[in-house]
Structure 1
């Protein structure tokens, strides 16, 4: 919980700077790049090791980042290392991306289907998710034949399961318990999802 609170605080600070300086896209790229860099084992060890002088850590960071990121992003990286929060950087990157998405009224949807969707089908799914969430959807698609058909979408913490596998499971449970199935329980029962589900 403490790590999450720290990440939100730093993400909030860099977000406000990016908003005021109109550098949101660049800062988002920078923060993701810094998180990836801090995940590299050799550099992460150097940055975490208390016996290594702070000046050496700063020099290594400046060499790795100065020509690639904004000065404000470099300052963030230096501050994170100075305060011994290297392990928190991935959380900061995630929190920052969430702030940017909220600011733009966007959401990322991880969409899984049993077979590859064509462009028209992807557009149907995207529009249905936008209608459901009230946000502009950025879709990341993947194929998993084990869901048998239909669509499974994860938007933030919410999972919308309209897969054939899930429908069969629900039907099985209803048959075992003697409850009559109703379409109202099916998140993806709308006409919007008819085409992808039938693929």
Structure 2
């Protein structure tokens, strides 16, 4: 449910920012807010607290952010407070980044391997993924010791399984078809 809410709010903000041709600026401003909330966990807790009134929360928000972010982002934060969605800010920000990257024809991908990939192999994989997807892929490598060998790529909602386990499963399926 929270993911759906985050997507809706992110999409609404992105549409406004895109129409104003400011979606990159808004991304930076949201990053600024996210970083402040992360660094000052007490501020985050204060904005979530049911003890603090809505008016007080808006005043706190105004004091801290009003002069440092655009009116659009500031009003968006106020809407989150009005709708009691301030606790969903981080998820909304993450969803917004995905939309902003798509607007720039960018996509983030993760290559999961048993051992760290060297930069040359990572770059080759990134180029191949960019060519096959038609998007500018930003690839990072994550280590998972449960991956026996090969690579598992997660790119948006796509999963490309090039692991040894997947290949063995394919071979097993093929052998079972021959035997039957």
Query: Where on the TM-score scale, by shorter chain, does this alignment land: which range?
Result: 0.7 to 0.9
Query: How far is 1:152 from its partner?
Result: 0.9
Aligned to 1:30: 29
Aligned to 1:88: 88
CA distance, structure 1, for counterparts of residue 117 and residue 3 of structure 2: 36
Partner SS state of residue 146, structure 1:
coil
Aligned to 1:178: 176
Partner SS state of residue 179, structure 1:
helix
Query: How far is 1:135 from its partner?
Result: 1.8
- 1:19 and 2:18 matched: yes
Flag the 1:9–1:122 CA change in 2: closer, same or farther, 3 A.
same
Deviations 1:32-75 (A, max 9, x none): 44345556653343223344222321222233323543332122
Aligned to 1:62: 62
Query: How far is 1:108 from its partner?
Result: 0.9
Query: How far is 1:84 from its partner?
Result: 0.9
Query: How far is 1:28 from its partner?
Result: 1.1
Flag the 1:4–1:113 CA change in 2: closer, same or farther, 3 A.
closer
Q: Which runs of 5+ in 2 are unaligned?
A: none
Flag the 1:164–1:32 CA change in 2: closer, same or farther, 3 A.
same
Aligned to 1:7: 6
CA distance, structure 2, for counterparts of residue 139 and residue 68 of structure 1: 32
TM-score, normalising length: structure 1: 0.72
Aligned to 1:151: 151
Total equivalences in the alignment: 177
CA distance, structure 2, for counterparts of residue 178 and residue 98 of structure 1: 41
Aligned to 2:139: 139
TM-score, normalising length: structure 2: 0.79
For the 8 Å contact 1:108–1:137, the answer to whether it is kept is yes
Q: Which runs of 5+ in 1 are unaligned?
A: 181-199
Query: How far is 1:5 from its partner?
Result: 4.7
Flag the 1:61–1:135 CA change in 2: closer, same or farther, 3 A.
same
Partner SS state of residue 69, structure 1:
coil
Aligned to 2:166: 166
CA distance, structure 2, for counterparts of residue 98 and residue 86 of structure 1: 19
